[in-house]
Structure formats: structure tokens, C-alpha cells
Amino acid sequence: MHCVRKVTEDLWWVGADDRRTALFENIHPIPDGVSYNSYLLLDEKTVLFDCVDWSAAPRLVENVEHLLNGRGLDYIVLHHLEPDHGAGLWAVLQKWPDAAVISSLAAQRFMDQFGFAPVQAERVVAKEGESISFGKHSLTFYAAPMVHWPDVMVSCLEPGGVLFTADAFGTFGALNGKLFNDESDFEHTRLSEARRYYTNIVGKYGPQVQALLAKVKGLDVKLLCPLHGPVWRSNADWFLGKYDLWSRYQPEEKGALVVYGSMYGGTELSAEALCAALTERGVETALYDVSSTHVSKLIAESFRYSHIVLASVTYNMDFYPPMRDYLEDMKALGLKGRTFALMENGTWAPAAGKLMGEFITGELGGTVLEPKVTIRSTLKADQAGELAALADTVAASVKG
């Protein structure tokens, strides 16, 4: 049975939800699933925009077959050749071998490297600013290199102002039948997963996303059609605003993310006490255990907040290994401009604070507020003043 949704008079969503894959890219948990979006234009020519993951290819083929209703498929436009959108090409070309494949030159190369298209498939290279007519509609291509991979392009379909945005403006989470952004309460049900998607998948490529946003500004866009998650037909400026902040590494909220690493609970309780003190001072906080929170969530929250408090045990004269994984990930994704505060624990020679501070200033280009709090196994009642002073310092910086 097909499952399609109408996007405009001539354009249909023909993709598929995936609720079975546990880890996106075999790294990031997707407890709410993910969608692989494809779209089909029925004009004088018939055009499929992007394919889906291999696992969803039978559903794509069934959806397209249903809507074509006996017509042939003239073109397949591939905006991005990563296998979550390119692998389904093989199945589509088995069914419609005469379809011409339109993509960037880099995507053609990747197509061959992955083996997604038989050599005899007809290919058209899409170039920056070039247009192709499909009848009533024409499509113009814009390169968006490294808005996830080097092959990425976006395209704008007119009339209608439909922008196919590849991995940009995507969201983790299956659609569950709700194709459009305003068919669910996006801010409260999807934003945190959209943030986790952006920051971990595309987060490293802020300057490239800025370049794409500049191109989008010059177009009269009415619909954003990404490869994952809802189609934006209203309030898109709000979401573009989030992308603008994320890609400039600017926080969305003034507040303190508190991440602790603790084996026996002493550091944990200290971090909790700091959160209580910050809350009393009117500071928005979020508290996470570095050991039990997936690093993709920590990264998303790090993009979100202006301040980050790290509380770590000393572990074999280093800071806690899961804390290092988190900070290394932050470095790899290029997150900049955060202000940090530190709490360290050590039973015989506390060193975590100094070492985290060196990592932050040396590797992350971050700022560290002083002084840090040192805990010897457990925070003592006579350290209440130190804790209050740290809370005052963080609160003043957050509000400043």
C-alpha cells in the first residue's frame, strides 16, 4: 500500500519513515525514528527528487508507481548522494531504467564509488545557477558544498517557491503522517531533535550553512523541503533563525548547561547543589550525567546554552574519560564562544579542573570563569561559601 502526501498541486511527498534503525550513521540514537524524504513532480515531465535509504526503497518505488499511474519517470534529481538518500537509486533505476539522473559532478562520482547507478544510466550534471524546464515548472540549482558532504546542492522549483534543501533544515524523528511543520507542535515536540540533528550532523559546517542561508535569502521561498523531517510551509523564518544562530555558534538561550562526571555520587551532588544555587539566582539550567547521556544530546545542549559548567572527577591524574569524549566531540564540531565554569573532584591529588581548563582555553578557544571549586571526595558544609561564590560568578556572567 502506498503512503504519499500532497505538497503542492503537482508535487507529492513519496518518502518513508524509518522506526527501526537504532543509530543514525551508526552513531546517533534516533529513538523517535527518522524520515527519508523524496518528492515527485507530475508535470509534462515526471521528476523524482532524491531517493531514500536502501531499507526504504521498496516503499519509495511503490509510492512513485502509484502516482505515476502508468506514466514513465523522466528525471531523478539527487541533491545529496549519501546512502540515506542515494542507495534507493538502484531500485528506482531497476524499475525506470530510462530516467535521467541529475546531480552535481561530485555526486556522480560518489554514485559510481558506491555503485548506486548502472553505468548506462543517463546523467546530467547540474551547475550553479542553471535551470531546467519540466513543463509548467522549472528548477534552478545552487551548490551547497559541505552542507553535509561536498556533493550537496539545493534547488528551487518555480512557480511555487519550493526549495529542496538536502540535509539542511532536517530533523530527526519519523513524520508519523504529519508532513508539514504546523501539523505538530514543532517547538515542543521536534525542536530538540532538530537541534540534535543539526549540531551533530551539520554543526561542523557553520560557514557553509551561512553561505547557504545567504543564497536562500535571495530567493522567494515559500516551502522548504528537506531530506529529513517536516516540510516547512509556515513560520520558516523562525527555523531559519535557529539555523542562523547554530551556524554562527551563537547560543539560543542565556543559561547554564551543567554536565557532571561522577563515579560515587560526590561530584554529582555538588553539581546538583550548584544547579539549585543557580536556580535561586534566576538562572536557567539543565543538568546531565556525562556517563549516561548520549554525547549527541550533550552537544545539542552545548550549542543551545551560553554557559557550560563542567564538574568532573579526577581519574588516573586526568579528567573523567567520558568528559574527554564530550569535549573532544565539541572540538571536532567546532563549537566556539562558550563561557565555562569548573568543579573538580579528587581524593588525593585533584587535577581535573586544571586539565579541563587547559583543554577549554587551548583546544576550544573558550573562556573559563574563576575561581573553580575543588571537592575532596565530597563537598563539605564549610564549602557552602565557595559554591555560592561560583553560583554568583556564573549568574553574573549569564546575566551580564
Binding site for ligand FMN (CB under 6 A): 262-268, 313-317, 345-350, 377
Q: Are 107 and 78 in contact (CB under 8 A)?
A: yes
Q: How many CB atoms lie within 10 A of CB 146?
A: 17
Q: Which does 37 bind (CB under 5 to 8 A by kind): Fe ion, ligand FMN, none?
A: none
Comparison of 227 and 375: residue with beta carbon closer to Fe ion: 227
CA distances (Å), origin 91, targets 61, 86, 99, 111, 307: 7, 10, 12, 13, 48
Q: Of 318, 323, 249, which is closest to residue 289 (Cα–Cα)? A: 323
Q: Which does 82 bind (CB under 5 to 8 A by kind): Fe ion, ligand FMN, none?
A: Fe ion
Taking the C-alpha atoms of residue 287 and residue 138, their distance in angstroms, rounded to an integer, is 50
Cell numbers standing for residue 180 = 508539514
Q: Which does 103 bind (CB under 5 to 8 A by kind): ligand FMN, Fe ion, none?
A: none
Taking the C-alpha atoms of residue 244 and residue 16, their distance in angstroms, rounded to an integer, is 28
Q: How many CB atoms lie within 10 A of CB 90?
A: 17
Binding residues among 132-161 for Fe ion as defined by CB under 5 A: 148
Taking the C-alpha atoms of residue 314 and residue 34, their distance in angstroms, rounded to an integer, is 38
Q: Which does 238 bind (CB under 5 to 8 A by kind): Fe ion, ligand FMN, none?
A: none
Candidate residues 10, 18, 82, 268; the one interacting with Fe ion per rule CB under 5 A: 82
What minimum distance in Å lies between the beta carbon of 347 and ligand FMN? Answer: 4
Comparison of 17 and 84: residue with beta carbon closer to Fe ion: 84
Segment contacting Fe ion by CB under 5 A, of 118-126, 219-227, 290-298, 383-391: 219-227
Segment contacting Fe ion by CB under 5 A, of 97-105, 117-125, 221-229, 284-292: 221-229
Comparison of 292 and 316: residue with beta carbon closer to ligand FMN: 316
Q: How many CB atoms lie within 10 A of CB 122?
A: 12
Non-local CB neighbours of 170 within 8 Å, separated by 6+ positions: 194, 197, 198, 201, 226, 227, 228, 229
Name the residue whose CB lies closest to ligand FMN: 346
Q: Are 277 and 373 in contact (CB under 8 A)?
A: no
Cell numbers standing for residue 266 = 560526590
Q: How many CB atoms lie within 10 A of CB 302?
A: 23
Pairing of β 16-18 and β 339-345: unpaired
Comparison of 230 and 266: residue with beta carbon closer to ligand FMN: 266
Comparison of 229 and 350: residue with beta carbon closer to ligand FMN: 350
Taking the C-alpha atoms of residue 137 and residue 275, their distance in angstroms, rounded to an integer, is 56
Q: Which does 9 bind (CB under 5 to 8 A by kind): Fe ion, ligand FMN, none?
A: none
Q: Which does 167 bind (CB under 5 to 8 A by kind): Fe ion, ligand FMN, none?
A: Fe ion
What minimum distance in Å lies between the beta carbon of 323 and ligand FMN? Answer: 12
Binding residues among 160-199 for Fe ion as defined by CB under 5 A: 167
What minimum distance in Å lies between the beta carbon of 82 and Fe ion? Answer: 4
Does residue 242 touch Fe ion according to CB under 5 A?
Answer: no
Does residue 53 touch Fe ion according to CB under 5 A?
Answer: no
Cell numbers standing for residue 149 = 558532504
Does residue 50 touch Fe ion according to CB under 5 A?
Answer: no
Comparison of 10 and 151: residue with beta carbon closer to Fe ion: 151
Q: How many CB atoms lie within 10 A of CB 154?
A: 26
Does residue 28 touch Fe ion according to CB under 5 A?
Answer: no
Comparison of 13 and 315: residue with beta carbon closer to ligand FMN: 315
Binding footprint of Fe ion on the chain (CB under 5 A): 82, 84, 148, 167, 227
